[in-house]
A and B are shown apart, each in its own frame.
Chain A
Amino acid sequence: MAVASRAAFRVRSVQPIPARVYLASGMAAVVLMAAGTTLEYPLYVIISFGIAPWLPLLFIEVLSQYRNFHWLAAFFAITVLQVGHLGEHSIQITQLFMSDGALVHSHGAFGQLDFETVHFFWDTTVWFGTLVLVWRYGRRNGWLWISLVFASAHEVEHMYLYYVNVFEFNFYEYQGGFAGIFGKGGMFPVVSRPYLHFGYNFMVVVPMVIAYLKQLNISLQTMPRKSSVSASRVSEV
């Protein structure tokens, strides 16, 4: 916790965006989401309204980190995307709780993307991204290894699921293939698939967030002069 809070403090010192800009973005997000809800837009539109005002800040943050620490910008981008991914799984779990487990009403906010091909390519990208981060930072960052173990296990699930979805669709659709390896009804049943994959993603994303904050702290400690110079450059953008 100490590392996280220290790193959070450091984030502010690297990224000199005034607090009022964050406040304005937050207020814009709330207003847009409220408008979307009032107008009864679909959930994915409302969530997109909530995300949109933060995108310019995100872009500036990535740019700043690239100028200061190069690879750390990729680490940051992967972490942010993964937090969003975990958010999508959290929404799905909430929908299951609210609909008494009805899968048809529980495909997350962006349910149009809830199919095997998207799962496979997204999780393969995450797995490779984590491997590259382990190569770059793994020797000094144990949290990344926890993330890698679960990203790898998750990848085995999705390789298997994608294969049976493409080549053995009858089995996938009607004979339990959808459950995968550890999903209830699958090869070695543990819990139903949506809960299982929420767990996988939690165990990938939370250590990754901690690893990122730790790495940011290390980077700031090892390059204080360069970061302060570059930070002033960013403030001129």
Chain B
Amino acid sequence: MRLAAAFAAAVVLMLAVVIAGDQLIGLTPATPEMTHVDRMHHLRLVGAALGIVIAVDAVFVWLALRHPPTDEQGFQ
């Protein structure tokens, strides 16, 4: 429980650094906005990447839950 609390505190600190950095300092030069692009095309690309990652994740999650290692070192 104390470990989880310490982790949560570290995440809050990280978020503070990220948000403060982005808001107070930002990036120079700023990245150009996505304009004049086929948004649907890019949504499809993101969807394809998401689909690949979810499919591969699902295989390993299935292996982890249904076929965990049974050798001597399986859970070591």
**Interface residues in chain A, defined as those with a beta carbon under 8 Å from any beta carbon in chain B:** 1-4, 69-72, 93, 96-97, 100-103, 127, 131-132, 134-140, 148, 152, 155-156, 159-160, 163-164, 171, 174-179, 181, 183-187, 191-196, 198-199, 202-203, 206-207, 210, 218-219, 222-223
Q: By the criterion CB–CB under 8 Å, are A135 and B60 in contact? A: yes
Q: By the criterion CB–CB under 8 Å, are A218 and B34 in contact? A: no
Complex CA–CA separation, A103 to B27 (angstroms): 6
Q: By the criterion CB–CB under 8 Å, are B74 and A101 in contact? A: no
Partner of A185, one of B30, B39, B42: B30
Interface residues of B in 56-70 (CB under 8 A from A): 56-57, 60-61, 63-65, 68-69
Q: How far is the CB of A2 from chain B (nearest CB, A)?
A: 6
Given known pairs A1-B3, A148-B57, the reply for A192 and B22 (CB within 8 Å) is yes
Q: By the criterion CB–CB under 8 Å, are B31 and A193 in contact? A: yes
Number of A-B residue pairs at CB separation under 8 A? 154
Q: Chain B, 41-67, contact with A by CB distance < 8 Å: what is the 0/1 string? A: 011011001101110110011011100
Q: By the criterion CB–CB under 8 Å, are B27 and A163 in contact? A: no
Q: By the criterion CB–CB under 8 Å, are A72 and B76 in contact? A: yes
Partner of B49, one of A102, A156, A203, A206: A156
Residues of A within 8 A of B7 (CB): 206-207, 210
Residues of B within 8 A of A160 (CB): 42, 45-46, 49
Q: By the criterion CB–CB under 8 Å, are B74 and A136 in contact? A: yes
Complex CA–CA separation, A198 to B13 (angstroms): 13
Partner of B64, one of A69, A135, A177: A135
Complex CA–CA separation, A146 to B60 (angstroms): 15
- Other 6 A-B pairs with CB < 8 A, given A96-B25, A96-B27, A163-B45: A1-B6, A101-B25, A152-B57, A185-B33, A218-B76, A219-B76
Residues of A within 8 A of B75 (CB): 137, 139-140, 218, 222
Q: By the criterion CB–CB under 8 Å, are B64 and A101 in contact? A: no
Interface residues of B in 1-47 (CB under 8 A from A): 2-3, 6-7, 10-11, 14-15, 17-19, 21-22, 25-37, 39, 42-43, 45-46
Q: How far is the CB of B66 from chain A (nearest CB, A)?
A: 10
Given known pairs A70-B76, A184-B27, the reply for A175 and B60 (CB within 8 Å) is no
Partner of B53, one of A134, A156, A164, A207: A156
Of chain A, the residue at the smallest CB distance from B69 is A136
Complex CA–CA separation, A206 to B18 (angstroms): 16
Complex CA–CA separation, A132 to B59 (angstroms): 11
Residues of B within 8 A of A174 (CB): 32
Residues of B within 8 A of A102 (CB): 28
Q: By the criterion CB–CB under 8 Å, are B15 and A139 in contact? A: no
Between A and B, 26 residue pairs with Cβ closer than 8 Å are A1-B3, A3-B3, A70-B76, A93-B21, A96-B25, A100-B25, A100-B28, A103-B27, A135-B63, A135-B69, A139-B64, A139-B68, A156-B46, A160-B46, A175-B36, A184-B22, A184-B30, A185-B33, A187-B34, A191-B21, A192-B22, A192-B31, A196-B18, A198-B18, A199-B14, A199-B18
